[in-house]
Protein backbone atom coordinates (compact mmCIF):
# COMPACT_ATOMS: atom_id res chain seq x y z
CA UNK A 1 0.00 0.00 0.00
CA UNK A 2 1.28 3.47 -0.90
CA UNK A 3 0.76 6.33 1.53
CA UNK A 4 0.55 9.98 0.61
CA UNK A 5 2.69 12.52 2.41
CA UNK A 6 -0.31 13.72 4.41
CA UNK A 7 -1.10 10.15 5.48
CA UNK A 8 2.53 9.62 6.52
CA UNK A 9 2.43 12.84 8.55
CA UNK A 10 -0.77 11.75 10.28
CA UNK A 11 0.76 8.37 11.12
CA UNK A 12 3.95 9.96 12.48
CA UNK A 13 2.12 12.48 14.65
CA UNK A 14 -0.30 9.82 15.88
CA UNK A 15 2.61 7.63 16.98
CA UNK A 16 4.14 10.59 18.83
CA UNK A 17 0.96 10.99 20.84
CA UNK A 18 1.55 7.58 22.43
CA UNK A 19 5.34 7.10 22.30
CA UNK A 20 7.98 9.35 23.84
CA UNK A 21 10.30 8.70 20.93
CA UNK A 22 9.74 7.32 17.44
CA UNK A 23 12.50 5.73 15.37
CA UNK A 24 13.12 6.31 11.67
CA UNK A 25 13.64 2.63 10.81
CA UNK A 26 10.47 1.52 12.61
CA UNK A 27 8.25 4.14 10.98
CA UNK A 28 9.78 3.37 7.58
CA UNK A 29 8.94 -0.32 8.01
CA UNK A 30 5.38 0.44 9.17
CA UNK A 31 4.75 2.64 6.13
CA UNK A 32 6.77 0.49 3.72
CA UNK A 33 8.94 3.38 2.54
CA UNK A 34 12.66 4.09 2.52
CA UNK A 35 14.19 5.54 5.71
CA UNK A 36 15.31 8.55 3.67
CA UNK A 37 11.64 9.38 3.02
CA UNK A 38 10.87 9.34 6.75
CA UNK A 39 13.91 11.49 7.49
CA UNK A 40 12.65 14.07 5.01
CA UNK A 41 9.19 13.87 6.60
CA UNK A 42 10.73 14.42 10.03
CA UNK A 43 12.66 17.42 8.72
CA UNK A 44 9.50 18.97 7.29
CA UNK A 45 7.49 18.33 10.45
CA UNK A 46 10.29 19.82 12.55
CA UNK A 47 10.18 22.99 10.43
CA UNK A 48 6.48 23.20 11.30
CA UNK A 49 7.33 22.78 15.02
CA UNK A 50 5.35 19.54 15.19
CA UNK A 51 8.26 17.37 16.36
CA UNK A 52 11.95 17.63 17.27
CA UNK A 53 14.58 15.52 15.56
CA UNK A 54 16.87 13.47 17.81
CA UNK A 55 19.50 10.87 17.01
CA UNK A 56 17.82 8.08 15.05
CA UNK A 57 14.30 9.45 15.32
CA UNK A 58 12.11 12.17 16.78
CA UNK A 59 10.30 13.29 19.94
CA UNK A 60 7.49 15.75 20.57
CA UNK A 61 8.41 19.31 19.71
CA UNK A 62 10.86 21.00 22.09
CA UNK A 63 11.72 24.67 21.77
CA UNK A 64 15.50 24.38 22.02
CA UNK A 65 16.00 28.13 22.22
CA UNK A 66 13.91 28.30 25.37
CA UNK A 67 14.93 26.03 28.22
CA UNK A 68 12.26 23.96 29.89
CA UNK A 69 11.68 24.65 33.58
CA UNK A 70 13.68 22.40 35.86
CA UNK A 71 10.90 20.20 37.26
CA UNK A 72 9.44 19.62 33.80
CA UNK A 73 12.85 18.62 32.44
CA UNK A 74 13.29 16.16 35.31
CA UNK A 75 10.52 14.01 33.82
CA UNK A 76 11.98 13.97 30.30
CA UNK A 77 14.13 10.90 29.46
CA UNK A 78 14.23 10.16 33.21
CA UNK A 79 15.31 6.51 33.04
CA UNK A 80 18.04 7.26 30.50
CA UNK A 81 19.30 10.14 32.64
CA UNK A 82 19.44 7.97 35.75
CA UNK A 83 21.34 5.24 33.94
CA UNK A 84 23.84 7.77 32.64
CA UNK A 85 24.22 9.19 36.16
CA UNK A 86 24.78 5.68 37.56
CA UNK A 87 27.71 5.18 35.19
CA UNK A 88 29.03 8.65 36.02
CA UNK A 89 28.93 7.86 39.75
CA UNK A 90 31.26 4.92 39.10
CA UNK A 91 33.94 7.46 38.11
CA UNK A 92 34.02 9.01 41.61
CA UNK A 93 36.82 7.60 43.77
CA UNK A 94 38.00 8.09 47.33
CA UNK A 95 39.66 11.47 47.82
CA UNK A 96 38.25 13.09 44.67
CA UNK A 97 37.34 16.74 44.45
CA UNK A 98 34.54 16.95 41.90
CA UNK A 99 32.46 19.65 40.28
CA UNK A 100 28.82 19.01 39.33
CA UNK A 101 26.97 21.56 37.24
CA UNK A 102 23.25 22.24 36.89
CA UNK A 103 21.35 19.57 35.01
CA UNK A 104 18.58 17.01 35.25
CA UNK A 105 21.10 14.22 34.59
CA UNK A 106 23.97 15.35 36.82
CA UNK A 107 21.49 15.80 39.69
CA UNK A 108 21.05 12.01 39.90
CA UNK A 109 24.76 11.21 40.43
CA UNK A 110 24.54 11.37 44.24
CA UNK A 111 21.76 8.77 44.28
CA UNK A 112 24.22 6.08 43.10
CA UNK A 113 27.13 6.74 45.44
CA UNK A 114 28.02 3.86 47.76
CA UNK A 115 31.05 3.61 50.06
CA UNK A 116 33.11 6.48 48.70
CA UNK A 117 35.17 8.44 51.20
CA UNK A 118 36.68 11.89 51.60
CA UNK A 119 34.96 13.34 48.53
CA UNK A 120 34.60 17.09 48.11
CA UNK A 121 31.65 18.10 45.93
CA UNK A 122 31.54 21.59 44.41
CA UNK A 123 28.28 22.51 42.70
CA UNK A 124 26.11 25.40 41.55
CA UNK A 125 23.04 23.12 41.55
CA UNK A 126 20.86 23.56 44.64
CA UNK A 127 19.10 20.27 43.89
CA UNK A 128 22.39 18.39 43.50
CA UNK A 129 23.72 19.87 46.75
CA UNK A 130 20.66 18.55 48.58
CA UNK A 131 21.07 15.06 47.13
CA UNK A 132 24.78 14.89 47.95
CA UNK A 133 23.91 16.04 51.47
CA UNK A 134 21.45 13.12 51.69
CA UNK A 135 24.28 10.78 50.62
CA UNK A 136 26.33 12.18 53.52
CA UNK A 137 23.46 11.75 55.98
CA UNK A 138 22.89 8.18 54.83
CA UNK A 139 26.64 7.49 55.14
CA UNK A 140 26.90 6.38 51.52
CA UNK A 141 29.79 8.84 51.23
CA UNK A 142 32.01 10.90 53.51
CA UNK A 143 33.42 14.31 52.75
CA UNK A 144 31.76 17.69 52.22
CA UNK A 145 29.51 19.58 49.85
CA UNK A 146 30.31 23.14 48.77
CA UNK A 147 27.38 25.05 47.29
CA UNK A 148 28.89 27.90 45.29
CA UNK A 149 27.89 31.47 46.03
CA UNK A 150 26.08 33.61 43.51
CA UNK A 151 22.68 34.67 42.29
CA UNK A 152 19.93 32.07 42.48
CA UNK A 153 17.66 31.07 39.63
CA UNK A 154 14.59 29.46 41.28
CA UNK A 155 13.22 28.08 38.01
CA UNK A 156 16.39 26.08 37.37
CA UNK A 157 17.37 25.46 41.03
CA UNK A 158 20.77 26.96 40.25
CA UNK A 159 23.36 29.52 41.30
CA UNK A 160 25.44 31.52 38.84
CA UNK A 161 27.02 34.91 38.19
CA UNK A 162 30.28 36.74 38.85
CA UNK A 163 30.61 35.49 42.43
CA UNK A 164 30.19 31.88 41.28
CA UNK A 165 32.95 32.27 38.69
CA UNK A 166 35.23 33.98 41.22
CA UNK A 167 34.90 31.10 43.69
CA UNK A 168 35.52 28.53 40.97
CA UNK A 169 38.60 30.34 39.66
CA UNK A 170 40.38 29.59 42.96
CA UNK A 171 39.62 25.86 42.94
CA UNK A 172 41.61 22.92 41.59
CA UNK A 173 39.29 20.05 40.70
CA UNK A 174 39.92 16.41 39.84
CA UNK A 175 36.76 15.76 37.81
CA UNK A 176 33.95 17.85 36.37
CA UNK A 177 30.58 16.29 35.60
CA UNK A 178 28.81 18.43 33.03
CA UNK A 179 25.36 18.63 31.47
CA UNK A 180 24.35 20.33 28.23
CA UNK A 181 21.47 21.60 26.14
CA UNK A 182 22.66 19.99 22.92
CA UNK A 183 25.59 18.62 20.92
CA UNK A 184 26.13 19.24 17.22
CA UNK A 185 29.09 19.30 14.84
CA UNK A 186 31.54 18.64 17.65
CA UNK A 187 30.29 21.52 19.83
CA UNK A 188 28.58 21.28 23.24
CA UNK A 189 25.84 23.87 23.85
CA UNK A 190 23.74 25.16 26.74
CA UNK A 191 20.63 27.35 26.98
CA UNK A 192 21.73 29.87 29.58
CA UNK A 193 24.75 32.19 29.30
CA UNK A 194 25.51 32.38 33.03
CA UNK A 195 25.21 28.62 33.56
CA UNK A 196 27.29 27.87 30.45
CA UNK A 197 30.09 30.10 31.82
CA UNK A 198 30.02 28.19 35.12
CA UNK A 199 30.20 24.83 33.31
CA UNK A 200 33.08 26.08 31.16
CA UNK A 201 34.98 27.27 34.25
CA UNK A 202 34.44 23.92 35.99
CA UNK A 203 35.83 22.18 32.93
CA UNK A 204 38.79 24.58 32.69
CA UNK A 205 39.82 23.87 36.30
CA UNK A 206 39.39 20.07 36.16
CA UNK A 207 41.79 17.32 35.13
CA UNK A 208 38.99 15.06 33.85
CA UNK A 209 35.95 16.48 32.05
CA UNK A 210 32.95 14.16 31.77
CA UNK A 211 29.83 15.10 29.80
CA UNK A 212 26.48 13.46 30.63
CA UNK A 213 24.07 13.63 27.68
CA UNK A 214 21.01 11.55 26.82
CA UNK A 215 20.23 10.85 23.16
CA UNK A 216 17.71 13.71 22.88
CA UNK A 217 20.70 16.08 23.03
CA UNK A 218 22.44 14.59 19.98
CA UNK A 219 22.48 16.70 16.81
CA UNK A 220 20.78 19.58 18.64
CA UNK A 221 21.92 23.15 19.12
CA UNK A 222 21.04 25.68 21.77
CA UNK A 223 22.27 29.22 22.14
CA UNK A 224 25.56 29.25 24.06
CA UNK A 225 28.76 27.24 23.54
CA UNK A 226 30.32 25.42 26.49
CA UNK A 227 33.20 23.61 24.79
CA UNK A 228 34.16 21.28 21.95
CA UNK A 229 33.99 17.50 22.23
CA UNK A 230 37.78 17.48 21.79
CA UNK A 231 38.14 19.14 25.19
CA UNK A 232 36.26 16.37 27.02
CA UNK A 233 37.72 13.25 28.61
CA UNK A 234 34.51 11.18 28.29
CA UNK A 235 30.98 11.47 26.95
CA UNK A 236 28.45 9.23 28.71
CA UNK A 237 25.27 8.64 26.70
CA UNK A 238 22.49 6.06 26.50
CA UNK A 239 23.09 5.63 22.75
CA UNK A 240 26.14 4.68 20.70
CA UNK A 241 28.32 7.33 19.14
CA UNK A 242 26.75 8.53 15.86
CA UNK A 243 28.63 7.30 12.81
CA UNK A 244 29.51 10.79 11.63
CA UNK A 245 31.14 11.49 15.03
CA UNK A 246 33.49 8.49 14.93
CA UNK A 247 36.43 10.80 15.66
CA UNK A 248 35.11 10.91 19.23
CA UNK A 249 34.31 7.20 19.60
CA UNK A 250 37.27 6.68 21.94
CA UNK A 251 35.71 9.11 24.42
CA UNK A 252 32.19 7.68 24.11
CA UNK A 253 30.75 5.53 26.92
CA UNK A 254 27.37 3.86 26.39
CA UNK A 255 25.23 3.49 29.52
CA UNK A 256 22.60 0.87 28.76
CA UNK A 257 20.52 -1.08 31.26
CA UNK A 258 23.16 -1.64 33.90
CA UNK A 259 25.93 -2.24 31.38
CA UNK A 260 28.80 0.07 30.56
CA UNK A 261 29.92 -0.57 26.99
Distance separating alpha carbons of residues 109 and 128, to the nearest angstrom: 8
**What pLDDT does residue 73 have?**
53
pLDDT digits (tens, 9 = 90+) for 78-88: 889 999 999 99
**Four-point Cα dihedral 240, 258, 214, 133, nearest 10:** -150
pTM over 0.85? The answer is no
pLDDT of residue 71: 45
Domain 70-260, architecture per CATH: 3-Layer(aba) Sandwich (3.40)
Look at residue 150 in the predicted model and tell me its pLDDT. 95
* 5-60 shares its CATH topology with 70-260: no
Indicate the fold that domain 5-60 takes in CATH: Arc Repressor Mutant, subunit A (1.10.10)
Sketch the domain layout of the chain as residue ranges. 5-60, 70-260
The pLDDT tens digits for 41-100 are 998 998 888 888 877 888 877 655 444 554 455 445 788 999 999 999 999 999 999 999
Kindly report each contact of residues 207-210 with a partner whose C-beta sits within 8 Å and lies 24 or more positions away, as own/partner. 207/173, 207/174, 207/175, 208/91, 208/174, 208/175, 208/176, 208/233, 208/234, 209/175, 209/176, 209/178, 209/233, 209/234, 210/88, 210/91, 210/175, 210/176, 210/177, 210/178, 210/234, 210/235, 210/236
Amino acid sequence: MTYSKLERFEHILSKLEFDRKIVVSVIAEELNVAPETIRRDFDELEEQHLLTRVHGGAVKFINLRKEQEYLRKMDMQKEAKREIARVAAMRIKDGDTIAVDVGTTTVHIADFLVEVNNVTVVTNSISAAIRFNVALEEKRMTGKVILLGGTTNPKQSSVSGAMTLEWLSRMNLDKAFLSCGGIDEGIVYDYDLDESLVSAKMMENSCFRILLADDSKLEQKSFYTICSLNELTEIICNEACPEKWMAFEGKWIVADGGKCK
